[in-house]
């Protein structure tokens, strides 16, 4: 099927999302842009899918999110009724449309009678991985594009152990996603009805507390922290992402109370407006944190990417320089 045929199918659909239709109308005289939106399907690979936000089969939007979720739903159905009852936990980062895509995934799974948990606000990937196990779910989803530019978003799938799918399981999910022939025709449930039936449940503080309690058991030397933890000067930047509260809470519970958050980067921001790239592996992302560290004579700088599955650290050395 040619990209023109797919485009015409989309633009002719009377139920097409008005915002996406408006974007397509604006491209009507630009076949090059339209072709890029429709010449292929956004690839669903081992870790899920990631792409630019916008209209078309080669973009991330509510219909490609529904298609991926429909494929995951079929995979779960194939695993049996117990898998459907255990369900799926969904978390999201602060990127554009992350919250909306979370609901689209939940509505798609709900249409299959699959139990779904969503968080009351954004959460980092490690909390999602923990929640899958804590809630005894069958699978997990994180709506995120990690440290990619602001115009991107993504869809990551996790197994019952809270880890990304190993090759065999991933191949099965990919096969089920590929079996969804028409992303515009995927059926979805109603949010209010799904909540009323118990198929959609909002979680929050209880999971957060269980996560923090588990984290506290991982300290290698709690006695040393009790003696000198409050003396360690730490600067932390969430790089406009999800981990301000989990990181600060966890550090303080451990006994690291001298923690300063980079104010310019503490609030979630889908544009990541203070950095070229919100990737803590790149020294440039630490520019403002380094300024804080110099001013405060900090011992340790910590940075996390938007969904907090990536961590950067800089340590003060003997000659007062910071080493990454």
Only one residue has tokens 């300290």, namely 219
CB 42 within 8 A of CB 64: yes
Cα gap 237→250, rounded to integer Å: 14
Q: Which residues contact 144 (CB under 8 A, 6 or more apart)?
A: 92, 93, 95, 98, 125, 153, 154, 156, 306, 307
**Regarding beta strands 322-323 and 116-119, do their DSSP bridges make them parallel or antiparallel, or are they unpaired?**
unpaired
* 146 among known catalytic residues: yes
Cα gap 119→121, rounded to integer Å: 5
Alpha helices in the chain (DSSP H): 3-12, 18-26, 31-38, 62-79, 81-86, 98-110, 125-134, 167-178, 191-197, 205-216, 222-228, 244-254, 287-296
Q: What angle do CA 181, 31, 177 make, to 5 degrees?
A: 20
Residue-wise over 110-131: b if at least 16 C-beta within 10 A, else e? Answer: bbbbbbbbbbeebbbbbbbbbb
Pick the closest to residue 57 from 12, 105, 9, 126 (CA basis).
Answer: 9
CB atoms within 10 A of CB 215: 18
CB 117 within 8 A of CB 110: no
Which of these is catalytic: 146, 243, 277, 323? 146
CB 151 within 8 A of CB 158: no
Q: How many CA atoms lie within 13 A of 144 on its CB side?
A: 29
Cα gap 68→109, rounded to integer Å: 10
DSSP string, 217-234: TT-S-HHHHHHHGGG--E
Residues classed as catalytic = 146
């Amino acid at each position: 099927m040619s990209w023109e045929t797919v485009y015409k199918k989309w633009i002719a659909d009377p139920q097409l999302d008005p915002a996406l239709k408006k974007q397509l109308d604006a491209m009507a005289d630009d076949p090059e842009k339209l072709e890029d939106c429709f010449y292929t399907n956004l690839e669903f690979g081992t870790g899920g899918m990631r792409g630019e936000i916008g209209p078309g089969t080669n973009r991330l939007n509510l219909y490609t999110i529904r298609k991926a979720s429909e494929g995951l739903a079929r995979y779960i159905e194939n695993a049996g009724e117990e898998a459907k009852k255990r369900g799926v936990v969904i978390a999201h980062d602060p990127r554009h449309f992350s919250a909306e895509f979370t609901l689209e995934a939940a509505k798609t799974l709900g249409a299959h009678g699959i139990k779904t948990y969503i968080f009351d606000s954004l959460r980092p990937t490690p909390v999602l991985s923990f929640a899958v196990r804590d809630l005894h779910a069958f699978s997990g989803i994180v709506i995120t594009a990690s440290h990619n530019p602001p115009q991107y978003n993504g869809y990551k799938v996790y197994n019952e152990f809270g880890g990304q799918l190993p090759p065999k399981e991933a191949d099965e999910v990919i096969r089920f996603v590929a079996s969804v022939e028409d992303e515009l025709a995927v059926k979805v449930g109603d949010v209010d009805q799904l909540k009323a039936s118990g198929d959609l449940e909002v979680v929050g503080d209880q999971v957060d507390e269980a996560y923090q309690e588990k984290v506290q058991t991982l300290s290698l030397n709690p006695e040393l922290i009790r003696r000198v933890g409050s003396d360690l000067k730490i600067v932390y930047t969430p790089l406009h992402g999800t981990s301000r509260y989990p990181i600060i809470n966890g550090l303080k519970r451990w006994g690291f109370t001298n923690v300063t958050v980079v104010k310019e980067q503490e609030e979630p921001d889908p544009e990541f407006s203070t950095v070229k790239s919100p990737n803590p592996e790149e020294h440039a992302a630490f520019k403002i944190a380094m300024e804080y560290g110099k001013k405060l004579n900090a011992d340790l700088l910590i940075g996390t990417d938007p969904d907090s599955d990536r961590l950067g650290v800089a340590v003060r050395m003997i000659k007062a320089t910071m080493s990454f």
